[in-house]
Chain A
Amino acid sequence: MTLDVSLEEPLSPVPVGPVPGDLAPERRDSLLHALRHGRGLVGVVLVATVVVLGVLGPLVAPYGPTEQIKGANLLGPGAGHWLGTDELNRDILSRTLYGIRVDLVVVFAAVPVGAAAGVFLGLVTSWWTVTDVIAQRAFDLLLAFPALILGILLTAFLGPGVLTVGVVIVALEIPVFGRLVRTSVRTVREMPFVEASQVVGAGPWWVLRRHVLPNSLEPLTVQLAVSMSVAVFIEGAMSFLGLGVRPPHPSLGSLIKDGVRLLHEAPFFAVGPLAVVVALVLGLLLISQSLAEARRA
């Protein structure tokens, strides 16, 4: 007699509820607690402020981001132009508010896409030796390129623009998250409860989904916050080098670049965009630090 049973699911389904290795509810609470107090709270407030400014930018900006105002050449900060105007008579406050939106797209779209792709690749490749070796060498290849070199390389093919910045960030995040998940896979799969699951017939996909992924969430959350802050830097650096957003559209990086160019004539120019970048990066780093500490605790 042949036993015709699929071994993708355990023979005796595990009861609904926490399984060994899952995040305990109190651990989840401690992460949330970290974001509601101390440094975590400061980080959340900083990031939320920037996000609100970016989202509401078009509603609150006094001028269009590319609007050239007659006679307003390099004006200093004043009642009419809170952050002054640039050499092409554009209101810097309005350009900063619109520029934030580019960074938000980069931070909240490109990084999660890269993270998701990295996690997926890390999960599916690291269970089996052959795919693991191939994936790791591919990750090595991507990690071998410093961010800006990869940016320049991709710009040669795709041309400068926000899409290229996004692609660069996705390409940079895939190996970071892939490596992180791989570590979890290799740790968790040796644990007794995983072996027990396999003994009762659980397949790799089930184990990865029910045991490995939940156990990786904490470091992934911390890494996500770190990667978001790095992404702000990368956008800024790429736009600074002329590889990012194309003129006349603003981004925080290109605004800082213009500000640095006019540092002698208009030292106020770079202050606004710089403050926003600092707030965003600092906020994300504070969030990641508080999460990391809560996790260790």
Chain B
Amino acid sequence: MSTPVPAPPRRRLIRLAGALVVLLTLVTATACSSAVDDLKTSSGERKEGGVLRVGALQDIVPARIFTNSSDSINVLIGSVYDSLIDYPRDSLEPQPSLATTWQLSDDGKQLTLQLRDDVKFHSGRPFTSKDVEFSIKTWADPAWTVQLQRTAAAITGFDTSDEHAITLTFAHPLSNIFDLLDMLPIIDRDTIDQLREGKAFVGTGPFEFDAWSPGAKISFKRNDAYWRGKPALDGIEVSVIPDPQAQVAQLRSHQLDLILGASYRDFESLGKDDQFHVNQWAGAEGQVYVGTNVTNPALSDIRVRQAIAYALDRERVVDEVLRGAGVPISAPWPDYSPAYDEKANATYDYDLDQAKKLVDEAKADGVAIPKLPLTYPSENPIYGAIAQIVQADLAKVGIEVELDPQEQAQVIQQLIGAKFPALWILSHGYANWTPSTLAVSAYPFNAEHNASLYVDKDYQAIADKVWNQKPGAVDPADYATLSKALLDGSFLLEIAITLPQDASSTQVHDIGQTKRGEPIFYDTYLTK
């Protein structure tokens, strides 16, 4: 009988390692299939409470808490705060919220609002007209760099003699006053210093701020004393996950219930999977655009800017990047806006010959066009894809572009401070609101000071004209003039309307969204 020869130690080690790999693979496969089986066997029965796990691309920045500049900020504002009125997503008809009724004076210079008397802040303090005054004055403070600062600053008088009513007096009629009242969160004056430091966010909304770990997590708990009634969820936990692909993976592996930041292609793919819902929020549109710094020597020539506008292949962006969840545009307005004009919207239809002709003319007149940096946020994949399409098209007409991906926070800082060196790609909102809001308030458009550093008396005049009128009283011809001023100036080159999307597991129900793009979880519930 022969004794088996023991395998050499190295070979034994390799065998052991192999066995371990097989074992680990089996365990992982079992665990994964268990998670998937859990999902497939969900009963659909409503679950009491529960915490909604949300994936967001960007963290909050307390100093920019009122700027709607990140998805985490949108969750925070939508969950913690209420506004005086709410716009439905599909119209500009104000609906009651903290204000129950309102009366605008005949000359459009005074607005009286009746306020709810059963509302308390999360601190337990009752909500009063003084809080409305404080919130509006906070927005009027340029330190907060909010986009409707000019509208808030045009409110010059506050009658708060009644705790549950307030009369606002305006410097002039404000066509977009209800836009402000919808966007303005009512904030707690006692904790404003803590808000600045990111230590406390106290409002009257359905969820209370619980904790914030910068760069990682923000959590909220249910406000049991919410004036609309107790929300269904126990809380919300927002994880900051800057990689969209990681968000998708975590949703697929059931580590997240809802993701806010994925590419349209990912949403398209998730939509084909019956384990996920993809929501598309019409009425909360954004607009993706190419911005130009008109003080850049090459871009100061209108022909170069118009050439870029002609060279934007909007149809391709909508088809290939937005996967159909958008509309190509030259002017910012969606088709239901009072300023929408189909003909104006086709002003800069894709025309490379015309673009090249304009570039050649400019160069013949001595305009030097060096390689221009094109800045865009690196976190969101749609910007990178659009930037590369724009770069390829501009190269065809003789404009060389160097891509400059940066973090979203840096890009927003440059937007607010008007610090972009040449070109940038970003999204703006507000075109789905009263048109004057865009022209006098949005960072990229504000006629007094915009991110393009574009100054034009005609543009300023028409922006003021459509702003200084009673709501709903603006002549459509004035809107046509405003559109013409925007298109003639070509300082901001629209690419497409984008329809916001998010994706959730099928165990999440009744997510909402404001016109501002803030997710609403008041009605949201989970199923088993």
Contact = CB atoms under 8 A, between A and B. Distances in A.
Nearest to A67: B392
Nearest to B252: A264
Interface string A102-145: 00000000000000000000000000000000000000000000
Contacts of A68: 388-389, 392
Contact of B245 (A66, A242, A247, A261): A261
Nearest to B387: A247
Given A242-B405, A247-B405, A248-B391, A88 B385 contact: yes
Interface string B216-240: 0000000000000000000000000
Contacts of B320: 73, 87-89
B416 interface: no
A261 B321 CA distance: 14
A10 B263 CA distance: 71
Given A66-B392, A68-B389, A87-B320, A265 B405 contact: no
A242 B378 contact: yes
Interface in A235-289: 242, 246-248, 260-262, 264-265
Contacts of B387: 247
B1 to A, nearest CB: 37
User: Which residue, A68, A73, A89, A160, has most C-beta atoms of chain B within 10 A?
Assistant: A68
Contacts of A242: 378, 405
Contacts of A247: 384, 387-388, 403, 405
Report the interface size class on chain B: 10 to 19
Nearest to A68: B392
Contacts of B321: 87
Contact of A88 (B378, B389, B403): B389
A107 to B, nearest CB: 25
A262 B263 CA distance: 10
Interface in A137-167: 160
Given A68-B392, A73-B320, A261-B245, A246 B385 contact: no
B162 to A, nearest CB: 55
Interface in A73-92: 73, 87-89
B347 to A, nearest CB: 24
B265 A265 contact: yes
A260 B381 CA distance: 13
Contact of B265 (A89, A248, A262): A262
B72 to A, nearest CB: 21
Interface string B265-297: 110010000000000000000000000000000
B384 A265 contact: no
Given A87-B385, A88-B389, A247-B388, A260 B403 contact: no
Interface in B175-222: none
Interface in A183-209: none
Nearest to A241: B243
A155 to B, nearest CB: 12
B378 A248 contact: no
Contacts of B405: 160, 242, 246-247
Contact of A248 (B263, B269, B381, B388): B388
B93 to A, nearest CB: 40
A88 B321 CA distance: 9
A248 B245 contact: no
A151 to B, nearest CB: 16
B245 A260 contact: yes
A18 B109 CA distance: 101
Nearest to B248: A264
A140 B388 CA distance: 42
Contacts of A264: 266, 269
A73 B244 CA distance: 21
B174 to A, nearest CB: 44
Interface string B28-53: 00000000000000000000000000
A248 B384 CA distance: 9
Given A247-B405, A248-B403, A260-B245, A87 B392 contact: no
Nearest to A89: B320
Contacts of B384: 247
A54 to B, nearest CB: 23
A242 B265 CA distance: 20
Nearest to B321: A87
A261 B388 contact: no
Interface string B469-493: 0000000000000000000000000
Nearest to A262: B265
A156 to B, nearest CB: 11
A246 B403 contact: yes
A152 B381 CA distance: 21
A88 B388 contact: yes
Nearest to A257: B245
Can you list the 7 inter-chain pairs with the closest CB atoms, starting with the nearest?
A248-B388, A68-B392, A261-B245, A264-B269, A73-B320, A247-B403, A88-B388
10 contacts: A87-B385, A88-B320, A89-B320, A160-B405, A242-B405, A247-B384, A248-B388, A260-B245, A261-B381, A264-B266
Interface of B: 244-245, 263, 265-266, 269, 320-321, 378, 381, 384-385, 387-389, 391-392, 403, 405
Given A68-B389, A247-B405, 19 more contacts: A68-B392, A87-B265, A87-B320, A88-B320, A88-B385, A88-B389, A242-B378, A242-B405, A246-B405, A247-B384, A247-B387, A248-B391, A248-B392, A260-B245, A261-B244, A261-B245, A262-B265, A264-B269, A265-B269
Interface of A: 66, 68, 73, 87-89, 160, 242, 246-248, 260-262, 264-265
